[in-house]
Amino acid sequence: EPEVTQTPSHQVTQMGQEVILRCVPISNHLYFYWYRQILGQKVEFLVSFYNNEISEKSEIFDDQFSVERPDGSNFTLKIRSTKLEDSAMYFCASRVERGAYEQYFGPGTRLTVT
Amino acid sequence: AQKVTQAQTEISVVEKEDVTLDCVYETRDTTYYLFWYKQPPSGELVFLIRRNSFDEQNEISGRYSWNFQKSTSSFNFTITASQVVDSAVYFCAGSNAGNMLTFGGGTRLMVKP
């Protein structure tokens, strides 16, 4: 069964450093998403991406964040200058374009900023 | 703006008991989509079910069943004869345009042997 994959599973970085989180969505899916979950809290939407551009973003997704689909398979989230409060689990998700609206999530990347 | 409320933060049951997880979705839109996801201790988010606002038919899948009532905006999830493997955090989520998901705070279900 096709699945969303994410790398790395765990990333530790120092405050102020740039990080790139990588995702490979399910191959025939056309909508891509990033969410985050601070430990013990609910899952929060960051950004959605369709047709090579951002279609929606939340207040959390400020200028420190960017997304990119550098090729036909990868979808990345970049945090330019990490802060302590960026420590969280970051989930990538994807869905097909029409008909079904459920999003399928990857296993997540745990980001720890020290 | 949408809001998803899961009033139960934590539920503890003994194996084989039935348990119902509550969810209320608030939105001004008449067309919306509701979802349930399971987050086991390993941390991933597993899609369980999607329901459209214009379809109030209840659904059963094995030990799982879902009851959607548009009049009260509730989308409740029942596990029949719970098992230890059902222990997880369950998230209800909603989407108005089929795009971003708004999640509830989650209900932690603990099933004891």
Q: Which residue has the tokens 């399910």?
A: A26
d(CA B91, CA B4): 10
* 3 state SS of B4: strand
Over the stretch B91-112, which tens digit does the pLDDT of each residue have?
999 998 768 999 999 999 999 9
Residue range A99-113: mean pLDDT, rounded: 91
Residue contact A101–B33, C-beta within 8 A: yes
B75 touches chain A (CB under 8 A): no
Q: Is the pLDDT of residue A100 over 70?
A: no
Query: What's the pLDDT band for A99 if we cut at 50, 70, 90?
Result: low
Q: Which residues 6+ apart lie within 8 Å of B51 measured at CB?
A: B33, B34, B35, B59, B66, B68, B75
Query: What pLDDT does B96 receive?
Result: 85
**Residue A48, strand partner residues:** A33, A56
Query: What pLDDT does B97 receive?
Result: 75
Q: Is the pLDDT of residue A54 over 90?
A: yes
B66 touches chain A (CB under 8 A): no
Min distance A111 CA to chain B CA atoms (Å): 14
Residues of A in contact with B98 (CB under 8 A): 101
Mean pLDDT, chain A, rounded, equals 94
Query: What pLDDT does B106 receive?
Result: 96
Q: Is the dihedral of CA A104, A44, A85, A18 positive or negative?
A: positive
Residues of chain B with pLDDT under 70: 98
Annotate A33-53 with three-state secondary structure.
Answer: EEEEECCCCCCEEEEEEECCE
